[in-house]
Structure 1
Amino acid sequence: MAIFFTSCDDIVTYDDEFTDETVSNGPPVITRISTIENQDTDTTQGSFNQMIVIHGQNLTQVKSIQFNDQSVDLEEIYAVNTKIVVSIPGTVPDEITNKIVVTTEKGNTEFPFKVAFPDLIIRGFDFDFGNAGETIVMQGENLLLYDLTPEKGEIKMNGIPVTILSTTEDAVTLKVPDGITDNATVSVSSNRIKSVLGEEPIEFTYRDRGFSITDMGPDYLTHASTKNFATDGTKEGDPTPLFPGTCFSRIKGTVNGYSTNLLIYNYPFDTPSANPLFADMRTNPGDYEIKYEILVKTEFPITAPGDRIRMVLNGTRATNTQEWIPVLSGVAYHTHDKWVTISSDFAYYKTASGGSPLFETGNKFVFAYIHGAGTVAPTDLSLTNLRIAKKVNIVRKQM
């Protein structure tokens, strides 16, 4: 029925079939969830800060909305009788229920919905050979999100608890425990890791010696491929060797403008495929890295943006954009007078046909520091422990 009132000045229309979308007539009901971009297609999960639409009836007069145990800011929602437009909270839940709970003045309801966590990624440490009591940094992504913190995280090396000093999303600073050994097993856990990613242990190796490309023993001092820059830690200004009794390369003094400084030149080594390690390197090069430790003294930082490290394996090398450029960010580079670990993906060294660069015998390896500026530069750079090692690249996904 419709009633119309008229006068000289206005017309008033009353329609008893009008529905007030701002009012709920009973308890809320959720029938489905969609993204805001595609409201005709249902979805069962979303990600932090994503806008979604809750569809149903009686969805006004909202008192609270929760995703897991995280509440929504009600000033940021749009609600009418048949839908609520809302952003999934960007905060991490303590309790994971995989539900949305909507409470209105007329009641409450829940609906199954999974908030997807980003992957936990661990890429190893900034220094692969820390000794007891030294500070090292575990690198990755979403480390803070997964509670790898001093208060809530648990990291062990060979079963020995590690002291966690600080945590950001991409770094956990920790202290190496007493009793550390080569090829130590690192285990990483927290209650949030277990609740989101499952109970399966997250483990990887620390102090992995891998396959040594060069012999760091006394022959390093006299070998034709290494002797020009070789030292054993006893010369004036030498850093302490990474491992007691080993040798390393050191450039000190100055380097000439636009110079290529060959710390190691055509060092020979064999990789027979009868050895399972070498066979796997050939089959799965992306699982390995060429790694080394470097020490650049604070007094003589690398400052030229064109300086780079070039490694050549049997005539193959990384492209210019794949090579390590210490000053790529524009900030002078040094290592605070400490050894640090540098890595280069072994897959960069494929042959022109895409195959492995390794020979059964007679491999040749070159390590060069290229000074890319036209002026003489004061330099104090040391290199040690060239090796091919298994890559640490843990990617753990939500259950």
Structure 2
Amino acid sequence: MKPTNTIKKLWLCALTISALGFSACEKEDAPECSGAPAIDRVTLPTKRTEAFTTGNLADWVIIQGSNFCNVSSVMFNDVEANLSDAYVTSTEITVRIPRVVPKNVTNKVTVTSEAGTAETPYTLSIPPIEVAGLSNEYASAGQRVAVVGKNFDLYGISPTSGKVLWNGAPVTVTRATGDSVYFTVPANATPGATVKIVDANNVEKAVPGRYKDDRNIIFSYDTGTSVWNTNTFITQGPVPTPINGAFIRVNQRIGAWAWTEFSATNTTLSNTIIANAANYVLRFEVNTLKPFSTNVIKFSIDGDPGGSGANTYLWKPLTPFNTRGQWSTVTIKLSSLLTVPLDPNKSQHEFKFLFHGDGALDADMSFDNFRIVPKD
């Protein structure tokens, strides 16, 4: 064989092997999707190897499987996820569950592409509407107030859908968020009025509390009684603007563990309340011109606020509490305060409300309308 022919043959062989190798590489790099999508499991970004069959609205999840190329939709029940925020590969879909209440609950997640559809069992926890009460039960007629709670947006309570009923009559919703529904107190509002909210499906839910509830008022600041029959801290305003006549304003520096009573008296308490404390709450209005950021406010009934802490509720600000000059209603479960049953044979019971705790506080807090009322 001539050398030139040998070289030619070797060169042709090399080309053949190269072509075969290229052909084999093309086959391995063929499209990763070759059929309808299939779902293996639903996981979490922080637990990618663990399968989950339940979740919550607004959770981020990873759908693992195969053939996710050209996915056109991902459905949780009958609600479509937003794929523009999703990260999709051939084997995973990282997507956020929509924060929308489904109308048709199938308890499934469904993935659809041009090649077909796959589904797997997946149950979502649907949170209910939670209604805490009015932001200010003593707001004046014509003043803006809010029903406060959770998940109002999920149930379609907005200026264009849903309702607020004041003593059964609808009032205009001026603004709504997930945790607040705003409206204006009617001009003809009278004490004792009740409020309800109605969602987009026409389901009513009562708002705890009554407007300007004056049942079982503990301290009557209008008669000049605050701390043991004195007028300590009592003011008529004008700063802040009074909410219901005279009120308490504590505007001073309170040292750490300085015993500072701002309301204290002996008064009667019905045996119905004593026997059914779990059915009652302590409710009042508060206004802060400076944040309540440290120290502790103690509410005590026949208690030991300076010692064992019996029958004493501690209000500790985990984060600064600040109403920014607006009056706001606060509710405390009476059962959280009364750790020891009250004596029904006592003619009067000792109430002490005071600052006493760690951390010096530059206080400017006002209080009014302390009352014990049914929790509704």
Structure-2-length-normalised TM-score: 0.70
Match of 1:270 in 2: 269
CA distance in 2: counterparts of 1:187 and 1:265, whole angstroms: 35
- Would the aligned equivalents of 1:229 and 1:251 in 2 still touch at CA under 8 Å? no
Q: 1:104 to 1:388 in 2, by over 3 A?
A: same
Structural mapping, 1:43-192, within 5 Å: 43=53, 47-53=57-63, 55=65, 59-67=68-76, 68-73=78-83, 76-80=87-91, 84-92=92-100, 96=104, 98=106, 100-108=109-117, 113-191=122-200
Q: 1:227 to 1:34 in 2, by over 3 A?
A: same
The structure 2 residue matched to 1:206, chosen from 209, 229, 238, is 209
Give CA-to-partner distance per residue, 1:143-190, whole Å, 9 cap, x none. 334332222232212212122222333333321234434443322232
CA distance in 2: counterparts of 1:381 and 1:153, whole angstroms: 36
Which segment is superposed worse, 250-259 or 97-106? 250-259
CA distance in 2: counterparts of 1:367 and 1:40, whole angstroms: 51
CA distance in 2: counterparts of 1:184 and 1:76, whole angstroms: 51
- Would the aligned equivalents of 2:67 and 2:90 in 1 still touch at CA under 8 Å? no
CA distance in 2: counterparts of 1:223 and 1:41, whole angstroms: 60
- Would the aligned equivalents of 2:79 and 2:98 in 1 still touch at CA under 8 Å? no
- Would the aligned equivalents of 2:73 and 2:111 in 1 still touch at CA under 8 Å? yes
Match of 1:344 in 2: 332
- Would the aligned equivalents of 2:196 and 2:207 in 1 still touch at CA under 8 Å? yes
1:14 Cα offset (Å): 6.2
Match of 1:364 in 2: 350
Q: 1:73 to 1:278 in 2, by over 3 A?
A: same
CA distance in 1: counterparts of 2:291 and 2:120, whole angstroms: 58
1:314 Cα offset (Å): 0.5
- Would the aligned equivalents of 1:310 and 1:367 in 2 still touch at CA under 8 Å? yes
CA distance in 2: counterparts of 1:79 and 1:330, whole angstroms: 48
SS of 2:267's equivalent? strand
How many pairs are equivalent? Answer: 348
Unaligned residue ranges in structure 1 (runs of 5+): 1-5, 393-399
- Would the aligned equivalents of 2:221 and 2:234 in 1 still touch at CA under 8 Å? no
Amino acid at match of 1:204: V
1:230 Cα offset (Å): 7.9
CA distance in 1: counterparts of 2:357 and 2:37, whole angstroms: 69
- Provide the identity percentage: 20
Structural mapping, 1:199-278, within 5 Å: 201-207=204-210, 209=213, 211-214=215-218, 216=220, 220-221=223-224, 225-229=228-232, 233=236, 237=238, 242-243=243-244, 248-251=246-249, 260-272=259-271, 275=272, 277-278=273-274
CA distance in 2: counterparts of 1:203 and 1:103, whole angstroms: 42
SS of 1:347's equivalent? helix
Amino acid at match of 1:136: V
Matched, 1:280 2:276: yes
Q: 1:253 to 1:123 in 2, by over 3 A?
A: closer
Match of 2:300 in 1: 312
1:44 Cα offset (Å): 6.1
SS of 2:207's equivalent? strand
1:206 Cα offset (Å): 3.5
Q: 1:45 to 1:32 in 2, by over 3 A?
A: farther
CA distance in 2: counterparts of 1:314 and 1:270, whole angstroms: 11
CA distance in 2: counterparts of 1:223 and 1:38, whole angstroms: 60
Q: 1:157 to 1:217 in 2, by over 3 A?
A: same
Q: In angstroms, what is the RMSD of aligned CA positions?
A: 4.6
SS of 2:335's equivalent? helix
Structural mapping, 1:3-82, within 5 Å: 12=21, 22-25=32-35, 28=36, 33-35=41-43, 37=47, 43=53, 47-53=57-63, 55=65, 59-67=68-76, 68-73=78-83, 76-80=87-91
- Would the aligned equivalents of 1:166 and 1:173 in 2 still touch at CA under 8 Å? yes
Larger Rg: 2
- Would the aligned equivalents of 2:285 and 2:328 in 1 still touch at CA under 8 Å? yes
1:135 Cα offset (Å): 1.2
CA distance in 2: counterparts of 1:242 and 1:162, whole angstroms: 22
Match of 2:369 in 1: 385
Matched, 1:291 2:283: yes
CA distance in 2: counterparts of 1:46 and 1:295, whole angstroms: 36
Give CA-to-partner distance per residue, 1:192-213, whole Å, 9 cap, x none. xx4xxxx753213332637525
SS of 2:282's equivalent? strand
Structure number having the greater helix percentage: 2
Amino acid at match of 1:77: V
1:52 Cα offset (Å): 3.8
Q: 1:386 to 1:71 in 2, by over 3 A?
A: closer
SS of 1:270's equivalent? coil
Structure number having the greater strand percentage: 1
